[in-house]
Chain A
Amino acid sequence: MSAPLLEVKGLAKHFEVPAETFLGPKRRIAAVDGVSFTVFKGDTFGIVGESGCGKTTLGRTILKLERATAGQVLFEGRDVLALPGGELRRLRRDIQIVFQDPFSSLDPRMTVARILEEPFSIHGILPDRAQRRRRIEQLLDVVGLPKAALERHPHMFSGGQRQRVGIARALALNPKLVVLDEPVSALDVSIQAQVLNLLQDLQKEFSLTYLFIAHDFSVVRHLCNRTAVMYLGRIVEHGETQTLFADPQHPYTEALLSAVPVPDPALEKRRKRILLAGDVPSPLAPPSGCRFHPRCRYARPDCAALDPALAEVRPAHWAACPVAPFADAASAAALIEA
């Protein structure tokens, strides 16, 4: 295994929200609540979960776009959250982000040329105009856009093309780590496939490391070599994508996997599905003990009192469930009757 590039240790981000009544107590939402994981060089590390699980806040806190409440983010061994301004700025070249919505993450008044030039002028790189121009043209070529795109504004592009501009911008300064926050979820499937293939090609070509935040299990399965599953601000399971999908060790992961519709009617007809009752509880008042216990089909009485930590269930596979491995070892594969 290669060296760790990013280590997240006990990271937490709490938001204060207005009190329900004027004199009432201030309320806190623990959007990210003690998250730890390590991303190695060359990894595509997937963070997957449903809306409100804190995956986007996690990404933003790692990039210091949100101020962390507690914890450490080590990038090549240095704590990003404790770096002084100048060094942080230097570090920002190495960590870039691609946002979900290609319609709001590009300034509509700028041409693509100016959008792609901005990272260079901010960091004072390639001051020579001709050199900078060559580099920008090269970036466009890398993401598969024609040179003619340079003088156009974002509204003249389709969603997929805009996402390519966003990716080109993120790659401008040769970053080591790219945080991809739902980069394909706003795109149609055929365009989504183009962008996913592009991301794979770029990773090979520029030896990038990805932190891939998504709600779509199929996309995560396709792209990521390691995956973490989040529920209400916590990682409940993480490990190699292959083993995690084949043999989930947390009841929430198991239920999520069984809920994903599979593009194969024969398989769909034979598959058993675990239906979770109710909605995700409000993060304002998370359940006591294990946060998943009110919806869990394996819950025991002590689950309401016991807050389980991640434990290594097999080499490089962690799950936060003392009941795992569950009694009937219902893995995603076992859900399909022979």
Chain B
Amino acid sequence: MDGLSYDLHAGRTLAVVGESGSGKSVHALSLMRLLPVPPARVTAGEVLYRGRDLLTLPDPEMRRLRGDRLAMIFQEPMTSLNPVMRVGAQISESVVLHKGASAAAARARAVELLRKVGIPAPEKRVDDYPHQFSGGMRQRAMIAMALACDPDVLIADEPTTALDVTIQAQILELMKSLQREFKMALILITHNIGVVAEMADDVVVMYAGRAVEKAPVQDIFKSPKHPYTRALLGSVPSIYLRKDRLASIPGQPPDLAVPFKGCPFAPRCTEALERCRADDPPAFPLAGGRMSNCWLVDSPAAAPR
């Protein structure tokens, strides 16, 4: 991952979109300081939460924030839930840890949360093990777990990718209504352009470990500024719009272990200039709080930072 900046406000949703290997999950894990060190190392930048830099906080303080003020849900609910621990106990673990709740209070909180995320008969299901839940229910349980302490920021890493569309629709509706209720800021990491259109206020498009474009959601879809964003949107089939042919992006993403020169998208870019292959473009700020990491937007009106 390389040089990513954005602001996130309470009650807003930021979608981070990109294909496999674009660095979107690494970005989330580094916010939470969950990457193993070594080999991972945050070499530059800061993550300010209410003005405090999470990256330099002492470990005990970070542990206090994590799971309390900042929560995360993962893609694969089966591998992120502990199979030998009752669902209720996993949900209330953070309430006991962060809020010092009694066993009875923690259990009551777990039941309340399971009800809130739409698990039927929560008084009974609270004592189930994860394998007794269906895929959709496990994802709901994980959301309940993340919400246990009413976090300010929820990071959801591909929360619906493993789910069928009807279950995905349930989970997305649930996340929207919970966000309205708790005024959480949501960072939604996904590769699904449809989910972005449905959920996001702002969008960051990632490619080869960096943000290539950043804009409010309507602008991304209406007037994408980066050729990768344009190509990505063109390659998605829609159930409403019949295209004769999808705009495919030739080639494949670069191998980040191999150093490259110029813009990482240049080899696949149909609009690439001479300059794109030689110099790495900086992030150009644009009107309307937008950003594009592309020489094509380089004009007197948009001078590099």
Specify which chain B residues have a CB less than 8 angstroms from the CB of A332 in the assembled complex. 239-240
Of the candidates A215, A218, A332, the one having the most CB atoms from chain B within 10 angstroms of its own CB is A218
Instruction: Report how many residues on chain A are interfacial, defined by Cβ distance under 8 Å.
Output: 43
Residues 176-201 of A, flagged 1 when their CB comes within 8 A of B and 0 if not, give 00000000000011111110110010
Docked pose: A265 CA to B165 CA in angstroms: 18
**Among listed A90-98, A104-112, A267-275, interface-contacting one:** A267-275
The segment from A118-126, A252-260, A313-321 that touches chain B is: A252-260
Residues of B close to A160: CB separation below 8 A: 252
A266: CB under 8 A from chain B? yes
> CB distance A275 to B170 under 8 Å?
yes
Chain B nearest CB, measured from A13 CB (Å)? 21
Asked if B7 CB lies within 8 Å of chain A CBs, one says no
**Does chain B have a CB within 8 A of A18?**
no
Q: Does the CB pair A189–B236 fall under 8 Å?
A: yes
Residues of A within 8 Å of B19, CB to CB, are 188-191
**Chain B residues near A262 (CB-CB < 8 A):** 194, 197-198, 238-240
Q: How many residues of B contact A (CB 8 A)?
A: 46
| From A50, A196, A242, A267, contact of B237 by CB (8 A) | A196
| B217-248 with Cβ < 8 A to chain A | 217-218, 221, 231-240, 242-243, 245-248
A279 at the interface (CB under 8 A from B): yes
From B20, B167, B248, give the contact of A193 (CB < 8 A). B248
**In the bound complex, do residue A261 and residue B197 qualify as a contact, i.e. CB atoms below 8 Å apart?**
yes
Q: Does A158 contact B (CB under 8 A)?
A: yes
CB proximity of B275 to chain A, nearest CB, Å:
24
Q: Which residues of A contact B198 (CB under 8 A)?
A: 261-262, 265, 268
Note all chain A residues with C-beta closer than 8 A to B164.
50-51, 215, 280
Tell me, yes or no, whether A276 is within 8 Å of chain B by CB.
yes
With CB as the reference atom, state the residue of chain B lying closest to A51: B164
| Total cross-chain contacts (CB, 8 A) | 129
Given A222-B246, A273-B173, CB of A267 within 8 Å of CB of B240: yes
- A255: B residues at CB distance < 8 A: 166
The reply to whether the CB of A103 lies closer than 8 angstroms to some CB of chain B is no
Which residues of chain B have C-beta atoms less than 8 A from A263's C-beta?
A: 193-194, 196-197, 221, 233, 236, 238
Chain A: CB-nearest residue to B165: A259
Q: Are B191 and A266 in contact (CB under 8 A)?
A: no
Interface membership of A337, Cβ < 8 A: no
The answer to whether B170 and A276 touch across the interface, beta carbons within 8 angstroms, is: yes
Q: Is the CB of A222 within 8 A of B243?
A: yes
Within 8 A of A (CB), among B238-272: 238-240, 242-243, 245-250, 252
Chain B 41-79 residues near chain A, CB threshold 8 A: none
CB closest chain-B residue, reference A271:
B198
Tell me whether A265 and B197 are in contact (CB under 8 A): yes
Set of chain A residues within 8 Å of B192, measured between Cβ atoms: 261
Mask, A236-262, CB within 8 Å of B = 1, is 000000100100000000011111111
Closest to B170 in A: A275
**CA of A68 to CA of B196, assembled, Å:** 42
Nearest-CB residue, chain A, relative to B219 = A265
Cross-chain contact A273 with B235 (CB below 8 angstroms):
no
**Contact (Cβ within 8 A) B165 A260:** yes
Q: Does B103 contact A (CB under 8 A)?
A: no
- C-alpha gap A222/B238 in the complex (Å): 7
Give the complex CA separation of A267 and B164 in angstroms: 22
Give complex CA distance A98, B234 in Å: 25
Q: Any chain B CB within 8 A of the CB of A221? A: yes
Q: Which of B217, B236, B242 contacts A265 (CB 8 A)?
A: B217
Query: Is B178 engaged at the interface, CB distance under 8 Å to the other chain?
Result: no
Which residue of chain A is the closest to B228 with respect to CB atoms? Answer: A190
Report whether B193 and A259 are in contact in the complex, using a CB–CB cutoff of 8 Å: no
Q: Is A217 an interface residue (CB 8 A)?
A: yes
**What chain B residues lie within 8 Å of A20 (beta carbons)?**
none
Contact assessment for A268 and B248 in the assembled complex, using a CB-CB cutoff below 8 Å: no
B172 interfacial by beta-carbon distance below 8 Å: yes
Contacts A158-B252, A189-B232, A190-B232; A279 near B237 (Cβ below 8 A): no
Check if B242 sits within 8 Å of A50, measured CB to CB.
Answer: no
Q: In the complex the two chains form, is B239's CB within 8 Å of A276's CB? A: no
- Are A279 and B239 in contact, CB atoms less than 8 angstroms apart? no
> Is B237 a contact of A218 with CB atoms below 8 Å?
yes
Which residue of the partner chain, among B166, B237, B250, contacts A219 with CB atoms under 8 Å? Answer: B237
Interface residues in B197-211 by Cβ distance below 8 A to A read 197-198, 200
- Could you pull out 17 A-B pairs where Cβ atoms are within 8 angstroms? A188-B191, A189-B193, A193-B246, A222-B243, A222-B246, A242-B242, A245-B239, A258-B169, A259-B166, A261-B197, A264-B221, A265-B217, A265-B218, A267-B240, A273-B173, A279-B134, A332-B239
A-B complex: 9 closest residue pairs judged by Cβ atoms: A261-B194, A193-B235, A222-B237, A259-B169, A193-B248, A50-B164, A193-B246, A188-B19, A190-B249
Chain A residues in contact with chain B, CB under 8 A? Answer: 50-51, 158, 160, 188-194, 196-197, 200, 215, 217-219, 221-222, 242, 245, 255-268, 273, 275-276, 278-280, 332
Seen from chain B, the residues whose Cβ lies within 8 Å of a Cβ on chain A are 19-20, 120, 134, 136-137, 164-170, 172-173, 191-198, 200, 217-218, 221, 231-240, 242-243, 245-250, 252
